[in-house]
Amino acid sequence: MKKGYFTSLFLTPKFFTSVVAVIFIFFFGFSFPILFLVAKLALMLVVAVLIADIVIIYSSVKSLTASRKTGRIMGLGDETTIHLQIVYRGTIPLDALVIDEVPIQLQERNFRLHTRLNPGITKLSYSIRPINKGIYAFGNLNILIESPVHFIRRKVVLPIKHDVPVYPSIYQMNELELLAFSRLSIQQGSKRYKRIGQSYEFEQIAPFVEGDDYRFINWKATGKTRELMVNQFQEERSQNMYCIISKGRAMKMAFNSISYLDYAINSSLAIANVALKKYDRVGLITFSDKIGTALRAENRTGQIQKILESLYHEKERDLEPSYELLYRSISRIIKSRSLLLLYANFENIDMLDRVLPILKKINKSHLLVMVLFKDEELEARSKKEGESIKEIYQSTLAAQHLSSKQEIALKLTRHGIQTLVSTPRNLSLDVINKYLELKSRGII
């Protein structure tokens, strides 16, 4: 007999209830002899049923196989559906408690699915949301099965281990691409910007929409159609754009269990894809106390794949980022005027003051756009009326923190640096809209 053959066997509450009932019958049998005979028969029946249940359970286990479908990769922050398929070739329906060994990163300790295994194929599914990049290791599938008798339960372990890498979200990238290239690149709470830029190469005459330049109204076409019409021009192409991401310890802050760095990574992938489709050249720089990735701006086939692979390996660091190092790297790598989207997180005005001189130097040679994070949870806390001293104190601190963020944004703007303050939830869309705005204004 194999080692552990019976260690996976568990007696159920129904069995113990039956045994207790037999014991009570025996107890009363001392006063009523007829009950003693009934107790003996009941005991033999319980033993017979237990043996029959064991036979059913152990014969059914040989008929169980399973598989898991997850997709080749998963996206960071995306709701991902995991499909389980259990094949049962027995004849007696079984009740089952299914426990999948989900990746340790999810910290899910109470995951279980209840189902009934009928002869044939049983399909189950559940959703997970990866909150970190890297390899997610799925383990075995554990199934606790019971026959219709419900006297015993047996644990069956089906070996279906496999690993799935979690990359920056390709789904969000494709979704935002559709938004950016639709006629209405708009989402609730965001501003619409025209897609078509303002170079001097004429493209078409189109109806006026909010955001069009009044200087390009075509009065002749307007008179003919009795509708305000404007001249549209082709965008300038093959401009340089770099996504620059700080990996300092301030980027370890998280919203909805995902760090600011990972939000910046998803946003960088999305904006890089849009810019490449706009025929611009896109590069990537990551930095902390040292330079991580330094990918020169290009618009070749495979550039988005290079960016994706580079972003996949980026992680936060515990030290403060070195903006002096960033400045030297930009001077060495970027030779022509470019659009620089710098993702960073300044928690107070003092942090900004230390690096502001360097940011001003960068902005002299390039168009620098600072992308800063706004804490949604603190914003909600600041608006909440406190009932206790503790709640009032928390609300006041939250309001002070938000005020500090506004002061940082205003100071950057006063020094001529483009600034975008966004919540992590809307970061990618806001950055794309900012890019489209700058393209439409022709200032890149």
* CA-to-CA dists, residue 226 to 203, 229, 233, 342, 429, angstroms: 21, 9, 22, 45, 35
The pLDDT profile of the chain, 444 residues, written as one tens digit per residue, is 444 556 678 888 888 999 899 888 888 877 788 888 888 898 899 899 888 888 888 777 777 889 999 989 999 999 999 999 999 888 888 899 999 999 988 888 778 899 998 888 999 999 999 999 999 999 999 999 888 888 888 888 899 999 999 999 999 998 888 887 764 444 434 444 344 334 445 567 888 877 677 777 888 888 888 888 887 765 556 789 999 999 998 899 888 889 999 999 999 999 999 999 988 999 999 999 999 999 999 998 899 999 999 999 999 888 889 999 999 999 999 988 999 999 999 888 888 999 999 999 999 999 999 999 988 776 666 666 766 776 665 676 766 767 778 889 899 999 999 999 999 989 999 999 999 888 877 776
- DSSP helix/strand/coil, 39: helix
What's the rounded Cα separation, in Å, for the pair 309 and 321?
22
pTM (global) more than 0.85 = no
Rounded Cα gap, residues 243 and 245, in angstroms: 6
Domain 170-199+234-441: homologous superfamily in CATH: von Willebrand factor, type A domain (3.40.50.410)
Amino acid (1-letter code) at residue 61: V
CB 366 within 8 A of CB 415: no
DSSP string computed for 345-381: ---SHHHHHHHHHHHHHHHHHSEEEEEEE--HHHHHH
DSSP secondary structure of 301-357: TTHHHHHHHHHHT----SSPP-HHHHHHHHHHH--S--EEEEE----SHHHHHHHHH
Which stretch of DSSP H or E encloses residue 87?
A: strand 80-88
| Alpha-carbon gap, residue 320 to 444, rounded angstroms | 30
The residue assigned the tokens 């001529």 is 416
Residue ranges per structural domain of the chain = 12-61, 64-167, 170-199+234-441
CATH classification for the domain delimited by 64-167, as one of 3.30.1330.40, 2.60.40.10, 3.10.450.40, 3.30.450.40: 2.60.40.10
Of the CA atoms within 13 Å of residue 222, those in its CB half-sphere come to 10
Paired tokens of 104: 């340790």
